[in-house]
Structure 1
Amino acid sequence: MSFDKGGKTNQAVEKYLLAKTLADTLLKDVIDERLREIAFREVEKSEILLNNGFGDSAVSHISYVAGWYPEISHHVKRIRVGNIMDKGEKLYEIGLYNAALKYFYQALQIDPGLALEVGVFEQGIAYDLLSMADSLNNEESINFILYALKESKKLAGGLSKSNQSILDNLEKKISIKSEYETKKRIKDILLKDNAKEKSIKPIVLGMTISEVENIMGKPKEIISQSNSNENMLWIYSYDKKITITLTFIDYKLFKIEE
């Protein structure tokens, strides 16, 4: 009893637990009641720690108490969830929304009853990002809000009417944006290919051998009628079995055959 009165809780608990193993039934009930009083007093200490911003210490302390008095185990869950939510709220307040939501969702997995509270934070984040996203032109913000709302819907089993409306509008907007960007990429590719084709000078009859070679490159096969290069056949082979034959007479392109 001296440890209990002196405020040395740990030592007092150890003494009570030891005495409980040796005591008769009547005395055990007295010891149990005293342990219950100490345990709930320590629960209040953990709550004070949590409220003063020492959440990790609060969780550690309440876990220790539950170790020797399991009847307060439900308070461990409550204080752990409170600590997680506090961390999320602090991140939310300084605008670190992605990190904040990770804490909110972690808490929601432990306690599904937080769905409404987490939903309020999600809606606040959505509105904040919507206002910062320059009328939803910031794709990163849009995708983040979509992720947040979908994750909430998965964990909570649904969304509020206002959040569902935001989700539907954003999905529609991102779909339109994606379709526009796809068409733009295709158009850019076609324009690039078209410009490339226009930049290639076509071969025409009357060109010299060197002029043709500068445009077409070296042929796959050259057939000469004699040792002289005045009259020749140049054969080019391409994909899909396309063959082009160029006839040179007197060093100039005379005929083009495909």
Structure 2
Amino acid sequence: MTGRNSMGLSESRWYATGRFFWDERAATLEEQVLGPIQNEVEMGLTLTELVERVSTRPYYRELFIAAFGDDAVTTERIARALAQFVRAMASYRSRFDEGLAAAGSIRGEFANFTAEENLGKDLFLQPRTACVACHLGGPPPPPGQDFANQAIFLPLEPLNNGLDAGPLEDDNGVGDVTGDPADDGRFKSSSLRNIAVTGPYMHDGRFATLAEVIDHYDSGIQPHPNLDPRLRGPNQQPRRMNLTPVEKGALVAFLGTLTDEGLLGDPKFSDPFVR
């Protein structure tokens, strides 16, 4: 068991701060990819051991020459290659993308969606759910313009989404890295693309299903002092969406349209050692 739930990787290259891990302790993706290799619970290698192992595998020689011009294996080159591999994981072939291309705007009805999925999309865009404010970069744009962030569905900064009511002994996210109490409970988020196939959810995997996630935002947000303002009501208390069961199901259905089967089945991201 690792200390935190594994985060989805698609759209990683577009994260605004460029920082990685749930607590953003890695300043770059190149730094992040070396973390699991050195973590004693995961791969448990020193960087020297990493270079030695890669150097002894004959099939890597031609790959390093193709990528870097010679066969020298270094930590920096390994990090650059792994980081570029992750950056290549771009999602753009989901049913949502097909519907958007046909409709011309995310606010239009998508002909390839069911009535439930269109309802979920409409709810997602409504200010009362707060989904759009975090995942699409703010309130509805002026007429004739679409949401700036709709291609990636990715919050642009770490935030506190009210999982717990106050600071914890074991994991305060960004706050444990910066030492600033104002950062307690703030965590980086992954893109909503492919979210239906990346459970469990949250940094600690506490929710097994998207239905549980929706329930949290509907009525389970806790009054943490650092709770994101977008999740507060008029009285500064945690907001409640008061969704009906039908509306909750519709939101889950809409999130399912963000699954990109083309990316999930792309041979570029399959195991190269399985033939």
Using structure 1 for the length normalisation, give the TM-score: 0.19
Q: Which has the higher contact order (CA 8 A, sep 6+)?
A: 2
Larger Rg: 1
TM-score by length of 2: 0.18
Considering fraction of residues, name the structure with more helix.
1
Q: Identify, as 1 or 2, the structure richer in strand.
A: 1
